[in-house]
Amino acid sequence: MTVAERWYRNGVIYNFDVRAFQDSNGDGVGDLRGLISRIDYLGRLGVTTLWLSPVHPSPWRDGGYDVTDHYNIDPALGSLGDFAELMNVADERGLRIMLDLVLNHTSDEHPWFRSACSDPRSQYRDWYVWSEQEPPDRSEGMVFPGVQKTTWTYSDRAGAWYHHRFYDFQPDLNIANPDVREELAKIVSFWERLGVSGFRIDAAPFVIERTEPGGDPENRDYSVLTELRERMSWRRGDAVFLAEANVPNDDLIRFFGNADGAANRLQMLFAFRLNEALMLSLARQDSGAVAEALVKLPRLPRHGQWATFLRNHDEVDLSQLLECEREEVLTAFGPERRHQLYGRGIRRRLATMLGGSQRRLRMANSLQFTMPGTPVLRYGDEIGMGEDLRLPERDAIRTPMQWSATTNAGFSTAAAHDLVRPVISDGSFSYERINVTDQRRDPDSLLVWFERMLHTRHECGEIGIGDHQLIRVEPSHVFVHRADAPRGSIVFLHNLGDRPARINLPLQPDETTEPVEVFSDREYPDLDLRDLELDGFGYRWIRLRRSHLRH
């Protein structure tokens, strides 16, 4: 497979919770048939891969990440037959499906855990992590500080303490057990056989953690990832793993595998450092943070790829910023206590964080979509949806998709009290003001802009496979970088501030050819690289060179 044929390097990933997307049968819960009915919307938007948040059977105490059966579809969402039909419809439209793969833990209602608790001689006893004595570190390492109290909980039924990196109803699997590893590989193989093109690995650092009472959380076994990759690649050569690993830069490359060779573990990682830098630069209206992050991005092994994002399905995680930097972002985008979560992040949508400013929203998304890697778009951000801060924790940004100004935002015909979550019905981000139908009719809407931007990006393959480099310019609120690949070179300008600017672009190696503006916030006058105008919150994509040969 050549670089150009690696689909995950030049795609656009769209993430959503099926339960909050479209209800087909009026029970108030989104389902697979509802998703199928909206598949043409996604095709028109210009995304290439649909990342479905957990769809497996679950008590749904943690958004479906508390799984009770990895080999099935939750009945509220449909059946395996419905899933197969989704795969058929997606294939017909050239869309790939990516599933959330929860390997770190199960629900405490999972048959494995129930068996493990009921009998110390159960074959599943050693599938989980136990301690006969109260662990000395049971109040350390919480993922959800302020909500989660411990990482070890005593089970009266089992007569022992079990480990849970997340909530107490999500006991951790014992990855050191070969039987567990074999089962995880079988789960991957099962969904691959049904046509899935990729898996987002939830909480990857905890998956490979060798957990024991009082143990070192840095004791990791990366061979788990290597084994899963080998099993997946053997059956389907083009399937990929995208991992959530919010770890320091020095540790990131180990998740990919060989730093000097090809990525032989995971092909993709979320670019958390880049995301934090983007949020800091947006808050400051200054390019310094994102410029530094771009320069410091680790060099990826061959075939490795970043996944970029502005908002995801969790909080905006600012934990790796300095405390003073975190306070800057919180002050700008989450000043109230109800905006904040876990002492480290913000539980708001991008549109509300940016005050609903269309110019700023478009500039921020343009900036993300030109960063090195494959962009991930959260459902509803293409129309500028807001959040419901009355909902607990991360549910604030998981409200139903706003399709129209009709009852329940066109999401469901159920009574309002039966909806999986309430639709946003108040204020300037209510479904009556922000919805797909109205924006489809408006040629200047955010949705139409997104369609145009995504389709333009597909023509700019340099972004996904090229080498990115910073171009230093003045003033400091303007960020300029370029992407170079065998097929061509493009330079990108973004004004993070509200003040207009004029840019004298340093001499570029490609100036023997005529530059072409391919995307911008408005139609600018004659293109002169020595004197480039840029409006406040403006952006320009300028092609310097293009090869018509296939590489």
Cβ within 8 Å of residue 411, ≥6 positions away:
20, 21, 22, 23, 30, 400, 401, 402, 403, 419, 423
Q: Is the peptide bond before 248 cis (omega within 30 degrees of 0)?
A: no
Q: Is the CB of residue 63 less than 8 Å from the CB of residue 398?
A: yes
CA 454 – CA 307 distance, rounded (Å):
15
DSSP H helices in 63-214: 80-92, 111-118, 178-193, 204-207
CA 6 – CA 481 distance, rounded (Å):
24
SS3 542: strand
Element (H, E) at 488: strand 488-495
Q: Is the CB of residue 130 less than 8 Å from the CB of residue 160?
A: yes
Indicate the DSSP class of residue 259: S
End-to-end CA distance of the chain: 12
Q: Is 244 among the residues known to form the active site? A: yes
| Inter-axis angle of helices 323-333 and 272-284, nearest 10 | 60
What tokens were used for 551?
């590489």
What's the half-sphere exposure (Cβ side, CA atoms, 13 Å) at 366? 29
**Residue whose C-alpha is closest to residue 415's, from 5, 4, 27:** 27
Please report where in the chains the tokens 């990196």 appear, as a residue: 165
What tokens were used for 233?
């690649």
- The single-letter code of the amino acid at 239 is A
- For 314-345, give the DSSP string: S-EE-TTS-HHHHHHHHHHH--SGGGEETTTE
- For 404-426, give the DSSP string: -SSGGGGS-SS-GGGSSS----S
- The single-letter code of the amino acid at 283 is A
Strand order in the sheet with 516-520: 467-471, 478-485, 488-495, 539-546, 516-520
Q: Is 328 among the residues known to form the active site? A: no
Bridge partners of residue 471, in order along the sequence: 480
Residues in the chain: 551
| Given 31, 100, 108, 244, the catalytic residue | 244
Please give the biggest Cα pair distance in the chain: 78
Phi/psi at 282 (nearest 5 deg)? Answer: -65, -40
| Given 202, 325, 387, 510, the catalytic residue | 202
Instruction: Please give the positions annotated as active site.
Output: 202, 244
